[in-house]
Amino acid sequence: MRVNNPLQGEGLGPYLAMFPTTARAMRSFLPLIALVLAFLVAPLDAHAQRGERITDYKVSLSVNQDRTVDIVETITINVEGNVFKRGLLRDIPVRYRGKLGETVYIDLDVKGIQRDGRREPYHLSHEGRYVRLRIGSADVFLQHGLHTYEIRYSVSDSIGFFDNYDEIYWNAIGTEWPFGIDQAQVSVQLPDGAKIQQQAFYTGGQGAQSDHYEVVNRSDRQVTVRSTRPFAAREGMTIAVAWQKGIVPAPTETEKMVETAYDNSPLAILLVALVTQLRWLYYAWKKVGRDPQGGAIIPLYHPPKGISPAIASYVSGLGSFAKSQQASFMAALVDLAIKGYLTIDSTSDDVAVEKTGKGDPSRLPAGQKALFAKLFESKTRRTFANLSYKTMAGIMSAFISAVDAETDQVYFRRNSGYMVPGFIIAILGLVGYCVASVLWAPPFNFPLLELVAAGCTTGVLAIVIGITKVLKGKKKVSSLFQLPFFVIIFFGTIFTVVTGDETVNMINIDWLPVPFIVAMIIALYLFNDWMKAPTKQGREVLDEVEGLRLFMTVTVAEQAEHADMPDLTPQLYEDLLPYAIGLGVEKSWSKAFEDKVFSQLPPDKTYRPRWHSGRFDTARPTAALAAMTTTLGTNLASAMTPPASSSSGSSGGGFSGGGGGGGGGGGW
């Protein structure tokens, strides 16, 4: 809703005139200042619209024996051309929440609208849980002064049927008007034969139980009350009038069941879709996603036959590089260096690699072959800190694709085909929900806000999970760059809601379907990972890799004596170092050799790797290697970080605002 600009008119004129230079400067910034202030004081719109207000608000309710209620609202407004330009906006709630949380709709039938005794054009639209009446013509501006609108409509399903009485509990003057109301009056007329048994009236803001009213007329089946003081913005009046049973026939159980099913058909479709999806995904997981029984884990003193460091890391990650992409890359790189294909230079703060020209790259495992070819595609020396994101992403993509092709369906089965029915069920559920919202259940509008809310909720969950993993050290900060889509959706939606030209409020959203939509999305995400399972060969290799990890961490550290355990030598250290890096245990592996081997070597036989150049303490090589891997990891993370995107009731239990009816409006 547009807000009257507090900087318009002569408010600052006399003061600015006293300082000509300041005045010119201030005037140049007035549009920006006005925009900022308009945003900041939006919740205080009543204070910015003191002149424009509702001078008189009368509501007449007539209860009919067919369970409908005829309503006439007579609203007199003072127009000054700020908010009230062409006419009046009236927002009437038509969707409520029942006692059990179910959705309840009321049927709204607009009979006619007049302004100053003449018919007035209007446009009806749906805004979340409201029906909006845009009264007036876009081509006609209102003359300043008083104008009286008469809005006639009827509603159904608005009568409460209790054990001892029936009741109309209605928020006759809603608590969402951003204007003050000088005087208000509400009258209730019951059907023939009815007699008022009890009554209650409430005034004030939402939830208040104030009694600023007086009864001005009362008979057996009619009562009229009026306010005893002006209402401030966001204040209104609620009435609750009860009469004896039998005057208005109550709906039968069958009618109530049919009405509830009709009103909640979109939600029912989502619920059926969610249950069906979960049943299928669980069935598929039990059939193909359960891991084979693992064997006993015993220390393994050599790499599994035919398993490269990259594949060992891949298998350890249960068929995924999601958590070990960088470690796998470094493991393959160090393995290439140890085998003599390249050298690693960490003399400076940036790690560089240089091709030696030795060895036959065609004999390398597929992943290392692709890495080597792409890394030295155009140069024989590479400094990782100087690589562009595009170049580094190309190298990493070639490496991962080669490993995936080498291992696809050999060690793990993705079982992606079993996920397809889950996706189809989710899509059909969402389509059915949208169709039912438009065609079956009132207010017959496309549930855009609900879908956006579900997307935002999922995005926020993804961001929270990502940040949590970063804080726990399970992910690097650069991984959060995978979430810009959700961030853009979230903040873009908030911006649209806050700055939109129409009065859009988060309360307009029907939040009940949102958890069902989010649950279907989360189920697809989780089961897509759980559906992957090791093959029989993959299970055997996984056990062997875990045995190798056990040797490089526990066995070597405890100096356990095993008959077939090899001697701890520099050669064994280098042979298994790439596997230690790929499995994330390089620190414990290096520390064990530092304590038991390197520190015990004579001065003329100190350990100095030929594949590495840089600062190196021969007695304590762990620090040098740790520094190298840390620097290399930092360089890789920096190179792999993408550049920032340039795109952009009557018994006394009621309250003011309770019951049916309510809403508010504004001007346009």
- Indicate whether 277 belongs to any domain: no
Q: Are 348 and 370 members of one domain?
A: yes
- Indicate whether 435 belongs to any domain: no
pLDDT, mean of residues 429-449: 70
- What's the pLDDT score for residue 20? 39
Q: Are 66 and 24 members of one domain?
A: no
Q: Minimal CA–CA distance to 629: which of 334, 402, 238?
A: 334
What is the per-residue pLDDT across 560-615, written as a single tens digit (0 to 9) for each?
566 677 888 888 989 999 999 999 888 888 888 887 787 777 777 777 788 888 76
Confidence band for 61, pLDDT divided at 50, 70 and 90:
very high
- Indicate whether 504 belongs to any domain: no
- What's the pLDDT score for residue 14? 35
Q: Are 200 and 305 members of one domain?
A: no
- What's the pLDDT score for residue 10? 35
Please give the radius of gyration of the chain, using alpha carbons only, rounded to the nearest integer: 37
Whether the per-residue pLDDT at 242 is higher than 90: the answer is: yes
Whether the per-residue pLDDT at 247 is higher than 80: the answer is: yes
Q: Minimal CA–CA distance to 454: which of 500, 424, 425, 493?
A: 493
Q: Are 144 and 241 members of one domain?
A: yes
Q: Are 354 and 452 members of one domain?
A: no
Predicted TM-score (pTM) of the model is 0.56
- Indicate whether 108 belongs to any domain: yes
- What's the pLDDT score for residue 18? 36
Per the listing, tokens 């999922």 go with: 458
- What's the pLDDT score for residue 654? 52
Q: Are 316 and 346 members of one domain?
A: yes
- What's the pLDDT score for residue 658? 53
Structural domain that includes position 459: 448-473+484-499
Q: Are 101 and 217 members of one domain?
A: yes
Q: Are 108 and 211 members of one domain?
A: yes
pLDDT, mean of residues 473-482: 52
Q: Are 63 and 26 members of one domain?
A: no
Whether the per-residue pLDDT at 110 is higher than 90: the answer is: yes
And the tokens for 663? 């809403």
**What rounded mean pLDDT belongs to the chain?**
78
389 against 182, higher pLDDT: 182
- Indicate whether 506 belongs to any domain: no
What is the per-residue pLDDT across 116-155, written as a single tens digit (0 to 9) for each?
999 999 998 877 678 889 999 988 999 999 999 999 999 9
Whether the per-residue pLDDT at 112 is higher than 90: the answer is: yes
What lies within 8 Å, CB to CB, of 569 at 6+ separation is 597
pLDDT, mean of residues 177-205: 92
Instruction: Establish whether the linkage from the previous residue to 43 is cis, with ω within 30° of 0.
Output: no
138 against 95, higher pLDDT: 138
- Side by side, the strands of the sheet bearing 213-218 are 118-119, 108-115, 145-156, 68-79, 53-63, 184-189, 222-227, 213-218
Q: Are 75 and 205 members of one domain?
A: yes
Q: Are 354 and 342 in contact (CB under 8 A)?
A: yes
pLDDT, mean of residues 179-195: 93
Between CA 634 and CA 639, with CA 638 as vertex, the angle to 5 degrees is: 120
Report how far residue 356's alpha carbon sits from residue 373's, in angstroms, rounded to the nearest whole number. Answer: 13
- Indicate whether 494 belongs to any domain: yes
- Indicate whether 284 belongs to any domain: no
253 against 402, higher pLDDT: 402
pLDDT, mean of residues 302-324: 81
Whether the per-residue pLDDT at 516 is higher than 80: the answer is: yes
Confidence band for 456, pLDDT divided at 50, 70 and 90:
low
- What's the pLDDT score for residue 23? 39
**In this structure, what CATH number is given to the domain that contains residue 123?**
2.60.40.1730
Whether the per-residue pLDDT at 418 is higher than 70: the answer is: yes
Q: Are 35 and 65 members of one domain?
A: no
- Indicate whether 266 belongs to any domain: no
Whether the per-residue pLDDT at 17 is higher than 60: the answer is: no
Q: What is the DSSP letter of 7?
A: T
Q: What pairs with residue 60 in β-bridges? A: 72, 187
Q: Which amino acid is at 479?
A: S
Q: Are 19 and 145 members of one domain?
A: no
pLDDT, mean of residues 313-342: 83
- What's the pLDDT score for residue 24? 43
Whether the per-residue pLDDT at 662 is higher than 90: the answer is: no
pLDDT, mean of residues 158-162: 87
Q: Please give the tally of structural domains in the chain.
A: 4
Whether the per-residue pLDDT at 665 is higher than 50: the answer is: yes
445 against 598, higher pLDDT: 598
Whether the per-residue pLDDT at 389 is higher than 90: the answer is: no
- What's the pLDDT score for residue 321? 63
